[in-house]
Structure 1
Amino acid sequence: MYVRPFLSMRALLLTGAAIAAVPAAMAQDQATVPVLSTSGTATDDDIDYADEIVVTAPRIAGQLDTDIAAEAELDEAAIASYGASSIEELLTALEPITRSGRGRGSGRPVILVNGRRIGGFGAVRNLPPEAIAKVEIFPEEVALQYGYAATDRVVNFVLKPDFKQVSVEGEAGVPTQGGQFKSELEPAVVAIGQNGRFNLNGGWEHQTMLLERERDLGDTGRSLLPASDTYIIDGTIVRNLDKVTDLSASLRFDQTDSLSLLGPGAGGVSDPLRRDSRTQNWTGSASANGMLGAWRWSVTGNYADSDQRIFTERLSGGRDRFDSSQQSFGGNANISGSVIEGWAGPIRASITGAYTGLRYDSRADRGGVITTSDLARDTPSVFGSLTVPILDPDYDVGKIGRISLTLNGQVENPSDFAALKSWGATLNWGLTDNLSLLASFNRDEAAPSVTQLGAAPLVTDNVTYYDFRTGQTVQIQTTTGGNPFLLAEQRRDVKLGLNWSPPMVEGLSLSINYNSNRSDDTSNSFPLLTPEIEAAFPDRATRVGGVLVALDQRPVNFDRATNSQIRWGINFGRSFGQSQAGPGAGRFGGGRPAGGAERRRQPAQGDAPPPPDGQAAKPAGSGDAPAAAPARPRGPGGGFRGGRGGPGGMFGGPQGGRWQLSLYHTIKLTDRVLIRPGVPELDLLNGSATGNGGGSNRNLVELDGGVFYKGIGARVSAKYDSGSRVVGGANGDLTFHDLATFNLRFFVDFNQKPELTKALPILKGSRLRLSVDNLFDAQRKVTDASGVVPLTYAPGYIDPLGRYIELEWRKAF
């Protein structure tokens, strides 16, 4: 079903308004809950700052110590309101907030645990959200302080000091149009304690095949989605050697077997061509963290092995075989801390030495013609950053807020390329406790991947493709693989950002970022074969009598790509109906200050080490240290912030309620590509395209909101983009219409429903969740100048699943 743009945008806004209104109605009769100041005891006017030491804010053990403000924070109850079953699911739900606007990076944020680097994502992937005390989300520039490039945002998970759980989760789902069934079973055990943590997970995922005829695309003997079975087992162990040193190791194995149908074989539709594949992955990582005097150090190592085997039946008989194996490995060592006390605070440095290695080999056997590749790359690198405070009123330096400058540089030396150099600078200005500005510039170089350079060619028959020259949908032969003539990419990025938590509106934070990127000699998959692209790469397309029959889709270099955009958004959340208040209780806005727990005017003694996993910081006056003075709030706030919550159901949080709403709008200002000199520049916002999905969408709106009250939760996520058009072709312009999609999630934590668990004891410790993805079954509508939908862009090809309903039951013991 195609949803018209006006109705979609209107529905998007009305949905957000409805979410904001629900908790207000629910809380109308609730008593007003007093909210303490950040210190929990006194306000700024009550404190005498004549002493040498000024305490700025109490922090949960494991929070980041940085001068850059968090853009969002979630406490236990806010985390519970997402209804996620793992950190991986939670990150997916938080994607509108954690997505980088830089246009760089892997897409997944930099992950820290208790303020420390980890060996890899596998170390936390399957931890249950109820094991998390707090989530902090920081802008990309914070990554520099932990030895990473500033291309992805930083997410810090603060774990609870004592947590144990054994759980089993089962899921089943179907698209409402039928044709496929998915199921999943996941047992898990996790234990966090004073000596460390341990978690072990297993999984089996099964899905049936979805055929073209089940989406009214004709009986062609082709599958839209393969049948597959995936088996997973992974585990992580962390051991605390002392209060500041820990060791960790994780290991994961997964195997996926899949079957696809590629169209009529020698016997016709009843004898379709088959493609069988098996992929096996081993992934392992290890890390160690500790303190060396006043410096924090970490060492990590990782190894991954991925093997793939593909058998493809040929129309002329026989089978093609493709085998590939890739091993990646490496390690790095990072040390960070205060170098010297500067005029406005400690000057801090972070230095990382790293090595990565990659081995890739493949063998393609097509009709007895064998092609092999044997690729390798070794890359040593050194990365460093230096943060220099420039102004700070606490040090009697300046009266216009706190300003710091971070400089970073990196040198890499790939074995198959010349040395690559990168450098950048970031200026952070905290004007007030609630308002901060940030500006950064980065210039770096990047080499193509080894598979982009040298992967063996893989030929696939009967691929459905839209030919712009003729305006027809045709079946062609495609060739994929590597291109050894690719060049290194040169990149320049500029970012300006603002974060503001209005003090007059509790729980509200706003952010706006401007990004401008330029890249020379970019490595790309072969673009959509528009007339402009075919003119630039005439040797890539094969035609017989003017009809497209084959296309070489191996990667190419674009001469230049430039783009700029503005991304702004709001996070607004509040608690209601709390039975009692505590430090930070009932707070989503306002905020923990940036810059750590205390600031000292005497020479710095180095960063205080965070406690190891499973250990909480002792409260002031508990015996090991003198009680701290009342806190002085400072630093810009932001996000949906809160305290640690209180006791509640299995899935965290007090018995009261939470509501939250986030809305982000990305506006692309420019997006241009120059394929090669002498060819007209492509304007992706005004009629050009490089991919099958059309040009660039000028507007993208993302909405996420939810309410959680007495064990019952509901969430909605929505996305709207403004579409694009591609000029030219035999049938005129191709229009990619606007699209809005909505996902709903309802869940019940039965531990907060004692009347039900008493009647049905089996429900104790369990949660039931119902998810509906693509609620209105919306697919992007693509039409040519006459209003006809080309077969390639039929809804069944664009989104084979459509509306999808899934039921999940999870029980903990």
Structure 2
Amino acid sequence: MIRRQGARCAVLFATTAISLGLSTAAHAQARTQAPAPEPGLDEGYEVDELVVTAARDVVPRGSVVGEAQPEMTFDQREIRALGVSSVAELLTALEPQLASGRGRAGGRPIMLVNGQRISSFREIRDLPPEAIVRLEILPEEVALRYGYRADQRVVNFVLRRRFRAITAEAGVKLPTAGGQAAYDATLDGLVIRDDARQQVDLKASLQTPLLESERNVVRTPDETAFRTLLPRQESLSLNGVYARPLGEGVAATLNGSLEWTDSTGRLGLNAGTRDALRRLTDTDTAHLGGTVNGARSGWRWSLTGNADWTDTQTTTEVAYDPVAGVWRAPNTSRSTVTSADVQGLVNGTLVTLPAGGVNAGFTVAAGTQRVEGESFRSGVVRDTDLDRQTVTAQANLDVPLASRKRGGIGGIGDLSVNVNANVENYSDFGTLWTLGGGLTWSPIEPVRLIASITDEDGAPSIQQLGDPETVTPNVRVFDFTTGQTVEVTQVSGGNPGLSADNRRVVKLGLTLKPFDETDFVIRADYTRTRTEDEIASFPAATPQVEAAFPDRFVRDAAGRLVQVDVRPVNFARHDEQQLRWGFNYSRPLKNTRPPPFAPQWPQGAPGGPPPEGGPPGEGGAGGGGFGGPGGGFARRNFAGGNLQFAVFHTWRIEDEVLIRPGVPVLDLLDGAALSQGGGTSRHQVDVQTGVSRNGLGARLNGRWQEGTTVNGGPSGESLRFSDLTTFDLRLFADLGLQPMAREHPWMRGARVTLAVDNIFDEVRDVRDAGGTVPLSYQPDLIDPQGRTIRLSFRKLFLPRLAAPPPETRRPAA
């Protein structure tokens, strides 16, 4: 394995070096072929107290299709104040602002770049935050205009016109309780020039194993030195993006990635060797995606395609059989998943009404997926060969009825309605429909109201339908009927008898921006969902669940639970209601000291920056993107700090499940549970606060979740799950903006970050009616890592800003 990983490292580093060299050469050639833009032409760039923005009636560059207004907008200063290193980290930091109650299982929001579709998240996940001019968060309904379903919020990233940098970062993460370490390193190169973009990103990580013996885990017999709470894991990934304009308003993007992950876990003592039984998993992933966006005669069109391949091999060692006196062959499995899809979207103005244009969007898509596998368990070979093709068509219509600016129905503000329909045909499951509609009303400019309804059919995945039956011994579960922690034989796999489910979602949303000159946004969303024939994982072993599915449980003569069949099932009905509301406040802070490095152009020189810190614009002059690491870059891009505070409260009003007709309804907010983790918390509060100034920043995020109780019934055992409050702290310092950087030029573009997750080392406390902690709910089993500390160093290498050619210089003052 070591030799294999070494070969992978050599290939990845060689490929990265060549790609970075080609990107730099291509950028240098572009600079010689095209003159640099005149400074000051781009909008919305901050220079100390001077902010140049687009006029109110002018649509900002990179805005989304139509007239949808963002619920929240984060500018460059606010993004910098988060102290993150990539778009992936940025989305994690904004999780409370991005949450939605409409999706089937949460998940990542829908991503756009400069108001246009992308093929997948891989296209932008590695972008450094310095390359982003503005981030917009929009409601779920905007997704319909881009051919998606309205079940996740939309995030639009507007990138700089000019950017060029190489980023290197390394970090180490350690639990304060010891016993484990995680190391990671990243090398990234990015060039942006208008619609052209090249990026190569290489990541490597290593996580050492965490043994049960390194925590306070009680097990009988004591095999804690031969069992891992977290496996050893190694990973390598290479991701590349190439985008360029093709002429006449058409631009294309190509994205490819390779990822390798190896993990090794320990499953207990092998009596025959006095060593640990091991489980080795090797996963290889390849992705190729592309997007072509264009416009013609007032209509925008987009074509996206993706192809993915994942190969997973697992080897599980089997203990020596002392009864038969033989060594059993290890259990092995291999699964290969291959998928491909293509989607076309056309969006534009169908007709024009007095209140504005009627926006129409039409989408057609096709996809294929195949799962092939082979497993060897206990001397039995099982093969898997699953296949599915899908064809999709979707139509969306936005009709403006009233407008404060244009007309229509007078005196009521801005009012528009939406209707949408989606039909999907599954080769193995038939035809399913989705119908929806909504209304958006803004009676006055600071207030926006949204009401929508969706009726959606959903099919089970091909894995849920056809995965082979798998038997896993010695799986630890808590039996709520007897109040005991037991080790059972678990049967898993697919269930060919699953039915399609149907979801009806009603949403009422309010966005309020009460102050013109203050960045203060209040948002509230009420959602009500009813799902019939819900497709779900098999729930926890409670008396109510056992009564509904008696054939899924096997007990011995003494009533001890010995086997559970956890293949997916359909619940008869699931009703949910929740209200999520909160606010986000942000204000700029002026730095109290100048940057330590003087700009590279003399103050007031022709073509150089004025005394207040440089000309406005996203990339400045010279075609090189940012200025030098300590010159124009520092003065123009770190001109100010930011103060931010946000609070969001989620109130789950209803969460009830009817498993089967004729059995009691399970109230997950009051005594029932569908998982070993307990019921549903009725209340959750997320708090964010952060401040940055003079290149120093701090962020504190907190989350409180209300405790729950699981009632075991008249003859069962009840459990109490305590409240859980966690805080995460992030401290960062941009070394190039500190006074000591004058004597240490290497600090230019460098940043040090210290992150402490779960500061107070909190873990949910679970106890039975007698106050005892069940063995399966030991704190170190629930949260093996506990409090962790991560220290990282990041270096941004930026080209020095050369003076622009004479024809592009500004006249002297």
TM-score computed with the length of structure 1 as normaliser? 0.84
Amino acid at match of 2:313: R
Alpha-carbon deviation of 1:400?
1.3
1:318 aligned counterpart, secondary structure: coil
2:362 corresponds to 1:351: yes
2:430 aligned counterpart, secondary structure: coil
Amino acid at match of 2:747: L
Alpha-carbon deviation of 1:722?
0.3
Amino acid at match of 1:332: Q
Indicate conservation of the 8 Å contact 1:494/1:516, yes or no. Answer: yes
The 1:62/1:38 distance shift into structure 2, 3 A limit, reads closer
2:496 corresponds to 1:512: no
Amino acid at match of 2:669: L
Alpha-carbon deviation of 1:38?
7.4
Q: In structure 2, what is the Cα distance between the partners aligned to 1:383 and 1:426?
A: 16
2:760 corresponds to 1:797: no
What corresponds to 2:38 in structure 1? none
Indicate conservation of the 8 Å contact 1:345/1:389, yes or no. Answer: yes
Which has the higher mean CA deviation after the structures are superposed, 280-289 or 194-203?
194-203
What corresponds to 2:580 in structure 1? 567
Which has the higher mean CA deviation after the structures are superposed, 206-215 or 463-472?
463-472
The 1:195/1:470 distance shift into structure 2, 3 A limit, reads closer
What corresponds to 2:770 in structure 1? 786
What corresponds to 1:45 in structure 2? none
Alpha-carbon deviation of 1:576?
2.1
Q: In structure 2, what is the Cα distance between the partners aligned to 1:480 and 1:763?
A: 54
2:103 corresponds to 1:98: no
Alpha-carbon deviation of 1:243?
6.0
Question: What is the correspondence of 1:631-710 to structure 2 with a 5 Å cutoff?
Answer: 653-710=637-694
Indicate conservation of the 8 Å contact 2:354/2:407, yes or no. Answer: no
* Runs of 4+, deviation exceeding 6 Å: 33-40, 615-618
What corresponds to 2:735 in structure 1? 750
Which has the higher mean CA deviation after the structures are superposed, 213-222 or 519-528?
213-222
Match for residue 249 of structure 1 among 248, 254, 259: 254
Match for residue 577 of structure 1 among 575, 590, 595: 590
2:335 corresponds to 1:333: no
Question: What is the correspondence of 1:4-15 to structure 2 with a 5 Å cutoff?
Answer: none
Amino acid at match of 1:413: N
Q: In structure 2, what is the Cα distance between the partners aligned to 1:444 and 1:275?
A: 40
Which has the higher mean CA deviation after the structures are superposed, 698-707 or 535-544?
535-544
2:304 corresponds to 1:304: no
1:58 aligned counterpart, secondary structure: coil
What corresponds to 2:570 in structure 1? 557
Alpha-carbon deviation of 1:278?
0.5
Deviations 1:578-616 (A, max 9, x none): 699xxxxxxxxxxxxxxxxxxxxxxxxxxxxxxxxxx98
Indicate conservation of the 8 Å contact 2:238/2:257, yes or no. Answer: yes
What corresponds to 1:462 in structure 2? 474
Alpha-carbon deviation of 1:271?
2.3
1:735 aligned counterpart, secondary structure: strand
Q: In structure 2, what is the Cα distance between the partners aligned to 1:234 and 1:617?
A: 25
Q: In structure 1, what is the Cα distance between the partners aligned to 2:592 and 2:737?
A: 14
Alpha-carbon deviation of 1:479?
2.2
The 1:578/1:245 distance shift into structure 2, 3 A limit, reads farther
Alpha-carbon deviation of 1:553?
1.1
Alpha-carbon deviation of 1:407?
0.6
2:129 corresponds to 1:144: no
Indicate conservation of the 8 Å contact 2:543/2:716, yes or no. Answer: no
For structure 2, list consecutive stretches of 5 or more residues without a partner in the other structure: 1-47, 322-327, 594-616, 621-629, 798-813
Q: In structure 1, what is the Cα distance between the partners aligned to 2:163 and 2:195?
A: 12
Alpha-carbon deviation of 1:206?
0.3
What corresponds to 1:231 in structure 2? 236
Amino acid at match of 1:745: R
Amino acid at match of 1:162: R
Alpha-carbon deviation of 1:343?
2.7
Deviations 1:258-286 (A, max 9, x none): 01111222348x42221111011111100
What corresponds to 1:487 in structure 2? 499
Q: In structure 2, what is the Cα distance between the partners aligned to 1:167 and 1:94?
A: 22
2:227 corresponds to 1:222: yes
Question: What is the correspondence of 1:704-783 to structure 2 with a 5 Å cutoff?
Answer: 704-728=688-712, 732-753=717-738, 755-783=739-767
Alpha-carbon deviation of 1:504?
6.6
Indicate conservation of the 8 Å contact 2:163/2:619, yes or no. Answer: no
Indicate conservation of the 8 Å contact 1:359/1:376, yes or no. Answer: yes
Q: In structure 2, what is the Cα distance between the partners aligned to 1:250 and 1:125?
A: 12
1:451 aligned counterpart, secondary structure: helix
Q: In structure 1, what is the Cα distance between the partners aligned to 2:53 and 2:502?
A: 45
Q: In structure 1, what is the Cα distance between the partners aligned to 2:54 and 2:160?
A: 21
Q: In structure 2, what is the Cα distance between the partners aligned to 1:506 and 1:347?
A: 33
The 1:501/1:144 distance shift into structure 2, 3 A limit, reads same
The 1:431/1:312 distance shift into structure 2, 3 A limit, reads same
Amino acid at match of 1:89: E
What corresponds to 2:37 in structure 1? none
Amino acid at match of 1:79: I
1:419 aligned counterpart, secondary structure: strand
Deviations 1:506-564 (A, max 9, x none): 12110111100000111111111101111111121222231122221111111110100
Alpha-carbon deviation of 1:395?
2.6
Indicate conservation of the 8 Å contact 1:309/1:322, yes or no. Answer: yes
What corresponds to 1:321 in structure 2? 332
The 1:616/1:79 distance shift into structure 2, 3 A limit, reads closer
TM-score computed with the length of structure 2 as normaliser? 0.84
Amino acid at match of 2:167: S
Q: In structure 1, what is the Cα distance between the partners aligned to 2:470 and 2:789?
A: 36
Q: In structure 2, what is the Cα distance between the partners aligned to 1:35 and 1:806?
A: 37
Alpha-carbon deviation of 1:648?
7.2
Amino acid at match of 1:401: G
The 1:505/1:101 distance shift into structure 2, 3 A limit, reads farther
Match for residue 364 of structure 1 among 358, 375, 390: 375
Question: What is the correspondence of 1:406-485 to structure 2 with a 5 Å cutoff?
Answer: 406-485=418-497
Q: How many residues align?
A: 703
Indicate conservation of the 8 Å contact 1:119/1:286, yes or no. Answer: yes
Alpha-carbon deviation of 1:36?
8.3
2:247 aligned counterpart, secondary structure: coil
Which has the higher mean CA deviation after the structures are superposed, 62-71 or 177-186?
62-71
Q: In structure 1, what is the Cα distance between the partners aligned to 2:571 and 2:373?
A: 26
Alpha-carbon deviation of 1:367?
1.7
Q: In structure 2, what is the Cα distance between the partners aligned to 1:160 and 1:226?
A: 41
Amino acid at match of 1:774: N
Alpha-carbon deviation of 1:732?
3.4
Indicate conservation of the 8 Å contact 1:767/1:809, yes or no. Answer: yes
Alpha-carbon deviation of 1:384?
1.1
Indicate conservation of the 8 Å contact 2:582/2:647, yes or no. Answer: yes
Deviations 1:483-508 (A, max 9, x none): 11100011100000110001277121
Q: In structure 1, what is the Cα distance between the partners aligned to 2:635 and 2:578?
A: 38
Alpha-carbon deviation of 1:649?
5.4
Indicate conservation of the 8 Å contact 2:421/2:435, yes or no. Answer: yes
Which has the higher mean CA deviation after the structures are superposed, 186-195 or 702-711?
186-195
Amino acid at match of 2:577: S
What corresponds to 2:551 in structure 1? 539
2:245 corresponds to 1:260: no
Indicate conservation of the 8 Å contact 2:199/2:241, yes or no. Answer: yes
Which has the higher mean CA deviation after the structures are superposed, 108-117 or 647-656?
647-656
1:264 aligned counterpart, secondary structure: strand
Q: Which has the higher contact order (CA 8 A, sep 6+)?
A: 1
Amino acid at match of 2:337: Q
The 1:172/1:657 distance shift into structure 2, 3 A limit, reads same
What corresponds to 1:163 in structure 2? 163
Q: In structure 2, what is the Cα distance between the partners aligned to 1:404 and 1:648?
A: 45
What corresponds to 1:812 in structure 2? 796
Indicate conservation of the 8 Å contact 2:195/2:251, yes or no. Answer: no
